[in-house]
Structure 1
Amino acid sequence: MSLSFKRWLAAGVAAAALVPGLAAAQSAPVAEWQLDTIIQPSPFRGVHGLAVAPDGEVLGGSVVGQQIIGVDPVSGKARVIVDRPAGQADDLVIAPDGRIVWTAFLSGEVRAISGDALQGKAAPVQVLATGLPGINSLDFDDGGRLYATRVFLGDALYEIDPTGATPAKQLLEGMGGLNGFEIRGRTLTGPLWFKGKLARVNLDDPKVETFAEGFKVPAAANLEADGKVVALDTVTGEVKRVDPTTGAATVITKLNPALDNLAIGEDGTIYVSNMAEGAIFQVDPKTGGTHTIIKGDLAVPGGLVAVPKAGGGSTLHLADLFAYRTIDGATGKVTDVARAYASNLENPMNANYDGGRILLTSWFAGGVQMFDPATGTELGHVNKLAAPMDALMADDGHLLVLTAGGTIHKAALDGSAAPADQKPVVEHLVMPTRMIWSGPDHRSVYVAETGAGRIVEVPVDGQALRVVVGDLKAPEGLARLPDGRLVTVETGTGQVLAFDPETAKGELISTGLKGRVGLEGTAGMPPAYIPTGIAVDDAGRIWVAGDRDGSLVRLSPR
């Protein structure tokens, strides 16, 4: 999934030197705006693989958050064991020698760190294998041999040298998405994500043998002490027990959709992760009783837009990576509209509102999805786009698409135009992350050009752009106040700035978002990574999504 952003970074250095600054905003005193945290921070930016440490602590890996976090199963207290960017873990396991070993999905690496990290001691990260984009699941056999699979950016089984001395050896390919698995003896047991089945592989003679079916999308399978299989269905949220001989299955418990992985403790307790909730659940294997160890209201909050209600007030629409969610502007209540993997939702990263539609974009999925804001019904989907960052509805019925590659181009709503046919309205923007119309005539858009540190106005007829304001530190998100001023989040400083789009006269709204916004991407990803969302509701209040800490804050004029 690696993309090259060296050209954009180089262009950004050159562009930054030419842009006038927003000195007025930088030096002005903070206005009388009250900051309230409406949704509290949470530890996980999506949680995936799980492992149980020798002392019973549950370890959870986060790909997007790029961390391995330890959670006390009794108190729910969390601590970072391997921090970003090294901790980018889709799956993880405790090795026979005590090391933590994990798959770095985005970087295509298998990594390891000494067990000293569990004691809070600093230790170097060792790379055991490289060149495996989308490397997903892994486990050791009883003899200490290490195996791993790719599922989404490839479909193969590998043996990995635990010392890192020799390259990964491919054993099988085209299995059907062999996801979260466990090895006992020399037999690997796991789910086939794309086939809805459970399977096993004899590692001495690698062949896939299915033994259970009837799953919508099986995400993980682990073994109980008696050899029974515990498996997850990410679509239905079911945790099932499966007889490995007959394939007969019974439901242990049912959780919400978007389940990712599981681990079984020494006492038989089942631990389950949910991507969309940043949650780890404890399941009693006998009764099916569940206990929430840790959970967040949001997963990976990104783009945000406020939509007025007919009777007054606003509803916030949020791209939350593993879910499309709304937040009531009056009560703060969070409602799921759709979840990834349990629906057609494709990992939304930004959200806009135009032409009566919610437009969700995902540079990872390469698409734009359109929804009815009132009913949550999907109205259309345009895919095969080149890393879209944001979208609007053009007056001629096409989509206007902003891309991570620095272009704005039009795309047909039926997806008929291939990327090569999409003639750009503008090129050479530097890491743009957000665009909004400059006015009701739709003659131009304002764009947050994050890499160049500026806001620009781009005419849609292809005329030269105008620099609105510059000398900003990684501005992300863009919205308009009732008085016509624009607001953005300066993610490099954690400040919220307001400015007149004609004079560039600015106001410093808040300095209180440092550590909440500006989640950094790993090497090879768009540096803006998860666009920071900012929105203005009908009352003129400013809302900011915390992509680093999972929070949602509101800034209200006193």
Structure 2
Amino acid sequence: MTATHVRFLSRSLAVCLALVGCHALAAPPRAYRQEVVVAGSHFQGVHGLAVDGKGNLLASNLLGQSVHSVNLSTGAVSTLVGPPLGGADDVALGPDGSIYWTGFFTGQLMRRTPDGKTRVIAKNLPGLNSLAFRGDGRFYVTQLGRGDDALWEVDPDGKKPPRKVLADPGFLNGFEFGPDDRLYGPLLLKGQVARVDVATGVIEPVADGFVIPVAVNFDARREHLYVVDSARGELVRVRLPSGTKELVAKLPTGIDNLAVGPDDQVYVSNMVDNDIRVVNPADGSVRLLVESRLAVPSGIAVAPDDPDEQVYLADVYALRQVGGRDGKVKQTARVLSTPTNFPMNVSVNAKHVVASTAYLGGMSSIQVLDRATGALVRTVPQTNGAQAALELDDGTLLVAESGTGKLVRISASEPAVSTVLVEGLGGPVGLAADTGAAEPAVFVTEVRSGKVTRVRLSDGARRTVASGLKAPEGIARHPDGGLVVAEVGRKRLVRIEPDTGRLSVIAKGLRIGVPESAGFPPGYLPTGVAVGASGTVYMTSDIESALYRFVPVP
């Protein structure tokens, strides 16, 4: 090599090193080893059940948007209807063997005929919940919790419009018709079980003293009722006509529905634990038919000061803690039996854990909990669909309103005052604090516009860090300053350098990204990302209901 060549290469090297974002000489992307922290499940919260008479149990999966078949002997699960058509809150069999299910968020009533054809037979009924056929083949459904409280009669073939039978019964949930052609079901708002004459609309109480009764079914001889109380975790037998109650089995809280087999075995779904249990009413014994460890894992956070890298997990039906190294799952708070409000995102700081939910229709809120005790510190209603939320040093909350495209501040004072920091974002979902900045700022993922944006907290000034992404959701700051993002649209986990926008791929071909559902703001069930002090990356899988880690390879 000549001296000229040496001088040329030296000058080229100097220029390259001086240029920001010179990729040719940048350090190669670090390799990661993918590992399972908590194995997955077939469901994303299991709800309505029905025995099909062929040795199987039909199980509805609302957030996973699917209807499943469970073998009663083995517990093996198969999918009958996948997303997005199968968003079922409850499921029933028609006289001809057709399967019917209710779309709580979509407001659609669905039918799948024995030849496998699926179609909508009623729509524009938000909050569709329970359904049942009367002995003569007439079909009834209820609305509750999303703007209406009503009982409807529906044409099973979908040729006639639905007819409202009863208004404001008190949130009539999982019901069944009795041998007297009366409808028996729980009234959630009244804590009682009642019977309804669908011809006259007359409601008569059958049994009182429940906390959150969610469903009833007759026993195999159709003489008495089994009732499940979600808040107490109880299976109760109500003897008719006296209405006297007896406890059959004690179960975990979070029960959602039940079905009774021809042998009088009682199948009980639990949305919080995402499992199905079988109760033998003869002796009260309980066994698991389908077991899960997580329900709907979404947003996650790891405290930077935690050497054990405990993962705080927003599991939609519970707020949990998971050992990042050993995978042990601890219960922090469960919906229905505690004030916890369907957590879908979570962040953590030195004192508090902040959980937020994007549910719309009056269920959206932000909750601040004491990190040491788990006690609820404050609840802030947030009707615009809160995705990620961070608590700043002064107690102010910074919230990504995915539906409105705004980043807002919520004051620490009571009553809370909300002010807009920036608007016009393309579906903000994830937030990560820019902790090393001279002026405080936050990084935001925009699921609709495919950007990562840096927003300065003093004045809302923003800068695009990266663009051209496909549905970025979860975001976390690496200890070395890099950003780790779940790029859900491309099923991959990427690292982005905040100063240059340079992108490298950590993992691809990931099982993430359940399709969005009606009634939710952008981001739906967010894929969560967190990074521990060791540099290990944690990520949730909404498709598999699992938690993974990506460990740096030395």
What is the TM-score normalised by the length of structure 1?
0.90
Instruction: Confirm or deny that 1:134 pairs with 2:131.
Output: no
Shift, 1:512, TM fit: 4.3
Aligned to 1:181: 175
Correspondence for 1:81: 80
SS in 2 for 1:492: helix
Larger RCO, structure (CA 8 Å, separation 6 or more): 1
Q: Deviations over 1:62-103 (max 9, x none)?
A: 111000011112211111001111111111111001100111
Equivalent residue, structure 1, for 2:165: 171
Q: Compute the displacement of 1:355 (Å).
A: 5.5
Correspondent of 2:377 among 379, 382, 397:
379
Tell me whether 1:475 sits opposite 2:472 in the alignment: yes
Which of these two proteins has the greater Rg computed from alpha carbons?
A: 2
Aligned mates of 1:75, 1:442 — CA distance in 2 = 59
> Which residue does the alignment assign to 1:19?
none
1:464 maps to 2:461: yes
* Contact kept? 2:258, 2:268, Cα under 8 Å: yes
Q: Matched residues in 1 for 2:75 and 2:473: separation? A: 33
Runs of 4+ in 1 over 4 A off after TM superposition: 22-25, 27-30
The equivalent of 1:449 in structure 2 is 446
Distance 1:374 1:50, change over 3 A: same
C-alpha displacement of 1:152: 1.3
Worse-matched range after superposition: 60-69 or 373-382: 373-382
What is the deviation of 1:444?
1.2
Structure 1: state its 5+ residue gaps.
Answer: 1-21, 117-122
State whether residues 355 and 393 of structure 1, in contact with CA within 8 Å, keep that contact through their aligned partners in structure 2: no
Deviation, 1:155, is 1.2
- Scaled by the length of structure 2, the TM-score of the pair is 0.91
Matched-pair identity in %: 35
Instruction: Show CA shifts across 1:472-515 (max 9, x none).
Output: 121111111121111011111221111221122232211241xx
Structure 2 counterparts to residues 75-474 of structure 1, below 5 A: 75-116=74-115, 123-153=116-146, 154-185=148-179, 186-224=181-219, 225-308=221-304, 312-354=307-349, 356-364=351-359, 365-404=363-402, 405-413=404-412, 416-417=415-416, 422-439=418-435, 443-474=440-471
Report the Cα distance in structure 1 between the residues aligned to 2:166 and 2:446, rounded to whole angstroms: 44
Label 1:397 to 1:307 Cα distance change in 2 as closer, same or farther (>3 A).
closer
Q: SS at 1:423's partner residue? A: strand
Letter in 2 for 1:361: S
Instruction: Quote the offset at 1:423 in angstroms.
Output: 2.8
Equivalent positions of 1:531-550 (< 5 A) are 531-550=526-545
CA distance in 2, matches of 1:347, 1:304: 14
Question: The residue matched to 2:228 in structure 1 has which SS?
Answer: strand
Aligned CA distance change for structure 1 residues 328 and 290 (closer, same or farther; 3 Å) = same
Against the structure 1 CA distance between its residues 493 and 29, is the aligned structure 2 distance closer, same or farther, given a 3 Å change threshold? farther
Cα 1:488–1:194 change in 2 (3 A) is same
How far residue 303 of structure 1 moved from its aligned partner, in angstroms, is 0.4
> Structure 1 residues 349, 415: CA separation in 2 closer, same or farther (over 3 Å shift)?
farther
- Per-residue CA deviations over 1:333-386 (Å, capped at 9, x if unaligned) read 001111111111111110011362111111112210011122111111100441
Q: Secondary structure at the match of 2:272?
A: helix
Residues 482 and 182 of structure 1, relative CA distance in 2, 3 Å threshold: same
Q: Which residue, out of 498, 502, 516, partners 2:495?
A: 498
Where 2:303 maps in the other structure, the secondary structure is strand
Equivalent position amino acid for 2:57 in 1: V
Instruction: Find the counterpart in structure 2 of residue 487 from structure 1.
Output: 484
Q: Measure how far apart 1:415 and its partner are.
A: 5.7
Distance 1:430 1:215, change over 3 A: same
- Tell me the secondary structure at the aligned position of residue 34 of structure 1: strand
Q: Distance in 2 between matches of 1:475 and 1:28?
A: 24
Aligned-pair CA distance for 1:58:
0.6
How many corresponding residue pairs? 524
| Conservation of the 8 A alpha-carbon contact between 2:447 and 2:522 | no
Q: Is the 8 A contact 1:395 1:442 kept in 2?
A: no
The 1:389–1:24 alpha-carbon spacing in structure 2 relative to 1, beyond 3 Å, is farther
